[in-house]
Structure 1
């Protein structure tokens, strides 16, 4: 569940139910999606959340794909464990772990949109932990937190049972004394920010199984519940710096004190090796780990200069093809080879029913406008995405291009092959081949300096949501139109405009409908490509200050909308129900531009 869906749902539903019910709904929903065939790929498609390889690190022979992890306090029932590994986390903490399930546990509370956690946290029985870790294919490291109240025998039992499944243990300094010296996994000692001091380290470093410390952000307590203090991040950064000054080799994991990418980066910069998210993750949304990863990469971003000239040429070719198609649609409408195939000249068709050519013109103008929009989108992706080595831009570019090439199969689906379309396809093919070849070096991950959860970001999420709906709607519309183009060809409003049934058209010329169908199918295919471009650009390209994304969506959609609406008024085909889907798309487009403007156009 990306931020653009999480926050609208949170405000509409989750903030109105109790904290535990909302938590379990989200976690179980995400895990269900991750469980079904193709679910993991679907989550990856929505969020593109895999951490960039440049920020991975090794600690005690364990590779963490990123330093960002999730605290066990967020998922005490382990209901979301399957899904969290798909959201950009480098590790997860589970626990506190006990032998047997407690009889009574206090649930978290929701108060003034804040989550209050019980001083005695929800605990996880060992049996459930073993069951989950055995059944689930967990591909990221797991750190097991042992409850502070387990006795020495229970402690040893937990360690023995979980050693094959986890990358390390978290416990108290007292528990450290009960652990054998030859412990097979690193043991981190947990402290609150108030408990930790420099003298404690002298007692711990002499233990061979001691791996480092877990520092918990300062909390304020009220009626057996806690929430983090307002200056939790600042206090935690200060403590991490002090600990690193005393022992630069000390491994430090922080827990809490992070609600924004900047706060996480300040902890990493101060010396924190791993950063666990707590209540800030709930407020900021599931996209927080991805945003933190991009913020960290921004400071270490590699300079890539891949080739992009052929991709630019491909976009220019699509644009020019659209302009040529627009010229023909506004002038001759049908070409000599069309007349030859139909068996009627343009003048003869006009004598039979002038609306036939007007109808054909409206499909060809719509196709031309869609191609011009596609060309603009391809050009912008090449200039601002592929040029900078962005892998997501390459995937967007080539997914839409391949679908567009396959669309030629629809041209002959009703028995008519347009040789001019075929020639254009053959000219594009070698250009695309070199574009695809140069794209193999485009492997970079996105980075961003955006580090705050400000108002522009929150409003921008709604703009992003509208553009995602817009792209998906165009995609579905393209599929529907393509299907109609190779099957029924006409809808009821088309018949009303033409004032002729398909049978009457077929009586005029048995080859008239195939010519109309091939235009309609081609238009649908072009819409599918544009829908994919808008959808994936909206899913993966929204970052603060990326003004080119806003410019691309603003300018790129205009030709398609202008042609789609203008051509209908040009020929007098103004049926409201027929144009209602286009009006709906225009509303999404305009409102989306307004909501996303402050986020995409501002670097602050």
Structure 2
């Protein structure tokens, strides 16, 4: 559930539920999707959240794909574990773990938008933890946080059963002094609160050289009211100061923070202070599931490194060729409409068709104009991806470019759905094929991850999410429309409004020429195929390209959609085919387009 769907849904639905109900709804929904065949790929497609390879590291023999982890407080029922590893987390905390299932659990509360946790945490029974660890294919490191009230007997059983499955244990200094021995097979991280700096300074010297100690976990400072607590307003600043003090004394000590992060900027503050790993708590709920991804992009943004320019000439040429092809198709649609080989296949000349029914040529013109406008839009989108994405080593632009291009090539088979092969289209694809081959070859070197200066979860960002949602809906509906039109093109060819405009039935058209409907079907299928490619481009650019200050994304979506919309609406006005119900889907798409431009402008265009 990416941010562009989470935040609108949160306002409309989740905030009206109890915290536990909304939490379970989200986590179970994501885990269900991750469990079905192809579900993990769908999550990756929608969010593109996996951590870039730049963040891969090894600490205490555990391999982390990201420095960002998730607190056990967020999912005490472990109902979302099957999906969390797909959301960019480098490790997951389970706990606090107890031996037996508690008789009562105090749920969190939300007051004035503030999440309040009970002093008596929602505890996780050992049986549930083992069930999840054995049934789920969890590939990320697991930190087991053991409840501070367990006895020595319970401690031994919990550690014995979890050692084969987890990478580290988290506990208090009292547990370390009472229970931890040299025989512990996993690293132990001592947990402290940033409020208790005195205790941290006194105890750290006692255990720092112990062979089982992996490091320390510093919890964000808390404020307690009526047996419920929440993080203090200055939690991030307090954590950063504590980290610096510890690192000044013990620079080699591994420091993990828990809480105090709601924005990418706050995460960067803790990393720069010296924290090796960060555990997200209630800030993750407020900021949305995209927070790990945005933290990764901000951390990459702050790295000083040369911009790796890539060759994009063939990709640019591919887009330019489609643009030129669209302009040529538009010229024919405005002039002769049908070409000599069309006339030969139909068995009638253009003059003959005009004499039988002038509306036939107008109808064919409207399909061909719409195809031309869609090709021009596609060409612009491909060119922009080449100039600003592939050239700048952005891996997501390569995936978007080639996914849409391959889909477009496959669409040529739709042209012959009714037995008619357009030789001009065939020649066009033969010219494009070697250009695309070299474009695909040069794209293999594109591996770079995106970065962003986005630091705060401000109102501009929130408006940008709604703008992103509008464009995602736009791309999806264009894609769906292309599939519908292609299906109609290779099946019944006409909808009812088409026949009303023509004032003829399919049987009457067939009586004019047995091949006339085949040519019209070929136009429809070709237009539908082009829409599928453009819909994919708009969808993938909207899903993966929205980042603060990415002016080229706004320009691409703004300019790229115009030719298709102008041709789609203009051609209907030009030939007089203005039936409202027929044009209603296009009007709706235009509304989404305009709303998307307005809402996303401050986020994408302002430097």
Shorter-normalised TM range: over 0.9
2:252 aligned counterpart, secondary structure: coil
Residue in 2 that maps onto 1:415:
419
Pick from 229, 232, 241 the counterpart of residue 229 of structure 1.
232
Task: Map 1:143-542; keep pairs closer than 5 Å.
Answer: 143-177=143-177, 178-196=179-197, 197-300=200-303, 303-542=307-546
- Deviations along 1:503-544, one digit per CA (max 9) or x if unpaired, are 101100111111111011000000000000000000000000
Please identify, of 322-331 and 202-211, the stretch whose mean Cα deviation from structure 2 is larger. 202-211
Please identify, of 300-309 and 92-101, the stretch whose mean Cα deviation from structure 2 is larger. 300-309
Residue in 2 that maps onto 1:103:
103
Distance 2:115 2:209 in 1: 39
| Structure 1 stretches of at least 4 aligned residues deviating more than 4 Å after TM superposition | none
- Deviation (angstroms), 1:207: 2.1
- Deviation (angstroms), 1:120: 1.2
Distance 1:31 1:191 in 2: 32
Task: Map 1:80-119; keep pairs closer than 5 Å.
Answer: 80-119=80-119
- Deviation (angstroms), 1:115: 1.0
Residue in 1 that maps onto 2:12:
12
Distance 2:502 2:15 in 1: 53
Residue in 2 that maps onto 1:75:
75
Distance 2:175 2:194 in 1: 19
2:425 aligned counterpart, secondary structure: helix
Distance 1:305 1:161 in 2: 51
- Deviations along 1:423-455, one digit per CA (max 9) or x if unpaired, are 000000000000000000011111111111011
Distance 2:447 2:574 in 1: 46
- Deviation (angstroms), 1:198: 2.2
Distance 1:139 1:451 in 2: 29
- Deviations along 1:549-596, one digit per CA (max 9) or x if unpaired, are 000000110000000000000000000000000000000000111011
Please identify, of 549-558 and 177-186, the stretch whose mean Cα deviation from structure 2 is larger. 177-186
Q: Note if contact 1:156-1:179 (Cα within 8 Å) is conserved in structure 2.
A: no
1:441 aligned counterpart, secondary structure: coil
Distance 1:105 1:558 in 2: 56
Residue in 1 that maps onto 2:549:
545
- Deviation (angstroms), 1:206: 3.3
RMSD: 0.8
Q: Note if contact 1:68-1:275 (Cα within 8 Å) is conserved in structure 2.
A: yes
Q: TM-score, normalised by structure 1?
A: 0.99
Distance 2:306 2:406 in 1: 29
- Deviation (angstroms), 1:94: 0.5
Distance 2:103 2:476 in 1: 48
Q: Note if contact 1:98-1:147 (Cα within 8 Å) is conserved in structure 2.
A: yes
- Deviation (angstroms), 1:249: 0.4
Q: How many residues align?
A: 603
Q: Note if contact 1:261-1:292 (Cα within 8 Å) is conserved in structure 2.
A: yes
- Deviation (angstroms), 1:302: 6.0
Please identify, of 202-211 and 20-29, the stretch whose mean Cα deviation from structure 2 is larger. 202-211
- Deviation (angstroms), 1:101: 1.1
Distance 2:260 2:183 in 1: 33
Distance 1:229 1:508 in 2: 80
Q: Note if contact 1:198-1:246 (Cα within 8 Å) is conserved in structure 2.
A: no
- The 1:589–1:170 alpha-carbon spacing in structure 2 relative to 1, beyond 3 Å, is same
Distance 2:307 2:186 in 1: 38
Distance 2:341 2:138 in 1: 61
Q: Note if contact 1:55-1:296 (Cα within 8 Å) is conserved in structure 2.
A: no
Pairing 1:27–2:2 present: no
Residue in 2 that maps onto 1:64:
64
Q: TM-score, normalised by structure 2?
A: 0.99
- Deviations along 1:45-100, one digit per CA (max 9) or x if unpaired, are 00001100011111011111010000111011111111100000000101000001
